Structure 1
Amino acid sequence: MRIAVVEDEKVVSERIEKALLDGFAERGIEANIFSFETSKAFIHTASRNTFDLVILDWHLPDGTGIALLNWMKTYLQIIPAVLMVTLRQEEADIIQALNAGADDFISKPFRPRELAARAYASTRRHSLRTPSVAQQQTLEFGRIKLNTNRETAYVDDEEVSLTRQEFRLAFLLLNQLGSPLSRSYLYEYVWGKSDPPGTRTLDVHIHRVRKKLKLTSEFGWNLVSVYGYGYRLQALDEIADEPSSNEPSGDKPSNDEAT
């Protein structure tokens, strides 16, 4: 689970991180935590990577947690669960945060086990309200259809054989169309770990998904490598006016047969 902690006080941020690591470990969940001291730093990362949960302070050096909540609702395709952790305790503040989109609210100083329990509960409740792979049976992207319950793909209504990793990679690329996705994020989402299972594993899978789902310019797609970062899938009709300088580099499979 990817968790962002947006808190400008380092000591508090470290306490939150420890509470979450311990609490989620007790529940058998591996938490990968990313800390941010400013709204700007969080926005820079959240624009390119997704999070399952955001722990959010009210007062930040360059804005407020409420403003950051509004930004997430406006600009993020996949909105994470949000737990506000703040010194504010007034009823009006709690109501304002919940109305702005926070899933829960806890005041400082917090009890570590309670914080972890509220964070976990927030992600569970949020997943029930948010469209997800489990809830959406069939997703359509032009000529491509993905059945998320069976993890099967179709091109022009003909079933295409994909491995589990290939399906998850295709789902992520299509569901975040136009967004550059980092290699570490793709590894974590598809294989469940940030360390690559092989030096060319991701490139091999990208090549296979491109070929099987016909994600080429001939069929209206532009799947390109983002130099030094990762990959991005675009629909050609959305980038017709943009210069096409980012051509795929090194996407042919190597001798590394990935699994």
Structure 2
Amino acid sequence: MNNGNAPCVLIIEDEPEIRDIVQIFLKNEGCLVLEAEDGEQGLELLQKHPVDLIILDVMMPRLDGIQTCIKIRETNNIPIIMLSAKNEDMDKILGLTSGADDYLSKPFNPLELVARVKSQLRRSKMTEAAGSLQQVITIGDLTVNIPRHQVTLSGKEIPLTPLEFGILELLGTHRGQVFSVDKIYETIWKEPVMQSDKTVMVHIRNIREKLQDHPRDSKYIKTVWGVGYKID
């Protein structure tokens, strides 16, 4: 966190009215706020300033939110909340697949966005605190180093987003236990499931792709059909 306990949030959004509203609500919650009007400007700010969370619009000039998210994920695991005027399932899946941790459709209630920001920051802080446990999980040739927030496969580091790491840590520290989609969501996102969606399944799919772990012949994350997921 920056400036004591004040988290820094980077808003990447081309509509100044939305940036103004969001920054007012965030500052009222004690956040430091940086603003960018497109992806390229946002990436420049990210290189110059320590940031705890990013609010990222999808539809922007020059560099859109999807491409910006992909570029951020090449080097950084900062929590990302994506904003979009679209509300189709495939658009949400595309946003989450590109590396976003959460997705909110426009128009949105600023209070809901603030609640999601708090949830992501709280989860991120708890992940950092877990470093004091000095715990390393080994699953075959897969190693999950909780203190370092690092995953390696056959000695090669695998970049996971904070939520992907949280899911893998949850399943890995409870070997053999089956977790339902709702239970995973409530445990990792630290909030109740409001409606059934594909958020957890998309994150599981992302983890599997990065680990080259095919669901039909899984070495790591097993699907228990009709129940949930587990790691043996």
TM-score norm. by structure 2 comes to: 0.51
Matched to 2:92, the amino acid is I
Matched to 1:14, the amino acid is D
Question: Closer, same or farther in 2 for the Cα pair 1:128/1:85, shift >3 Å?
Answer: same
User: Which has the higher Rg, Structure 1 or Structure 2?
Assistant: 1
Are positions 1:65 and 2:65 aligned together?
yes
Q: Residue in 2 aligned with 1:20?
A: 26
Residue 31 of structure 1, CA deviation: 0.4
Aligned identity (percent) is 26
Matched to 1:5, the amino acid is I
Question: Closer, same or farther in 2 for the Cα pair 1:19/1:127, shift >3 Å?
Answer: same
Extract unaligned runs of 5+ from structure 1.
25-29, 140-148, 150-259
Contact kept? 1:83, 1:106, Cα under 8 Å: yes
Of the three residues 75, 82, 85, the one matched with 1:84 is 82
Question: Closer, same or farther in 2 for the Cα pair 1:107/1:46, shift >3 Å?
Answer: same
Question: Closer, same or farther in 2 for the Cα pair 1:95/1:111, shift >3 Å?
Answer: same
- Work out the CA distance in 1 between the residues paired with 2:97 and 2:126: 18
- Work out the CA distance in 2 between the residues paired with 1:126 and 1:138: 16
SS of residue paired to 1:75: coil
Residue 4 of structure 1, CA deviation: 0.3
Matched to 2:109, the amino acid is R
Question: Closer, same or farther in 2 for the Cα pair 1:100/1:125, shift >3 Å?
Answer: farther
Of the three residues 99, 105, 121, the one matched with 1:107 is 105
Matched to 1:73, the amino acid is R
Deviation per residue, 1:12-44 (Å, 9 max, x gap)? 11111122223x2xxxxx200010002111111
Superposition pairs of residues 1-259 of structure 1, within 5 angstroms: 1-22=7-28, 24=29, 30-76=30-76, 79-128=77-126, 132=128, 134-137=129-132
Residue 123 of structure 1, CA deviation: 2.0
Question: Closer, same or farther in 2 for the Cα pair 1:107/1:114, shift >3 Å?
Answer: same
Deviation per residue, 1:184-219 (Å, 9 max, x gap)? xxxxxxxxxxxxxxxxxxxxxxxxxxxxxxxxxxxx
Deviation per residue, 1:125-161 (Å, 9 max, x gap)? 34445xx3x333499xxxxxxxxx9xxxxxxxxxxxx
Matched to 1:98, the amino acid is L
Residue 50 of structure 1, CA deviation: 2.1
Q: Residue in 1 aligned with 2:155?
A: none
Extract unaligned runs of 5+ from structure 2.
1-6, 135-146, 148-232
TM-score norm. by structure 1 comes to: 0.46
Deviation per residue, 1:95-142 (Å, 9 max, x gap)? 11112221111111111111110111122234445xx3x333499xxx
The number of aligned residues is 129
Q: Residue in 1 aligned with 2:176?
A: none
Contact kept? 1:19, 1:115, Cα under 8 Å: no
- Work out the CA distance in 2 between the residues paired with 1:16 and 1:118: 12
- Work out the CA distance in 2 between the residues paired with 1:47 and 1:10: 22
Matched to 1:83, the amino acid is I
